[in-house]
Amino acid sequence: MKEAARAELQTKVADVLAALDAFSIPKTAAYRKAVEDRCGNLNTQLQTQASDAELEVILGRQLEEEIKLCDDELGLIPSMAEWKPWKAAGTINVVEDGSGEPVAQEAGADDK
């Protein structure tokens, strides 16, 4: 276990929440709500008086694994901002790419 894993995880959680704003993920997007919920739960657990070992039992994984998951989320947020899945509204347009074969394209995929 890293000596400062708990403090590093607190920093990573804050970074993830800040990235949601920095990349303008809408507050109404299901993706943002899920990330905020997860980060909120992590923050709640990190504020407890539980030892790091107890915290790992509560979370079901090592703190270093949680740090890695935050890093993964930080890598995903820019892609989600580019893809804008919240604009698709569940519809998919089918277009042709010149090959004569239909290609699925999310509605709003041309929105940049």
Q: Is residue 47 part of a domain?
A: yes
- The contacts of residue 49 (CB under 8 Å, 6+ apart) are none
Rounded to an integer, what distance in angstroms lies between the CA atom of residue 52 and that of residue 45? 10
**Mean pLDDT of the region 34-59:** 96
Distance separating alpha carbons of residues 92 and 68, to the nearest angstrom: 33
Task: Indicate the pLDDT class of residue 88, thresholds 50, 70 and 90.
Answer: confident
Instruction: Give pLDDT, residue 96.
Output: 65
Instruction: Please indicate, yes or no, if residue 104 is contained in any of the structural domains.
Output: no
Task: Provide the residue range defining the domain that includes 73.
Answer: 5-85
The residue among 8 and 92 whose pLDDT is bigger is 8
**Average pLDDT of the chain?**
87
pLDDT at 25: 98
> Per the domain annotation, does 19 fall within a domain?
yes
How many domains does the chain contain in total? Answer: 1
Contact yes or no for 17/34 (Cβ under 8 A): no
pTM: 0.78
- Position 49 in a domain: yes
Given a cut of 60, whether residue 108 has pLDDT beyond it is no
Please tell me the predicted confidence (pLDDT) of residue 92: 59
Take residue 93 and report the two structure tokens written for it: 């347009």
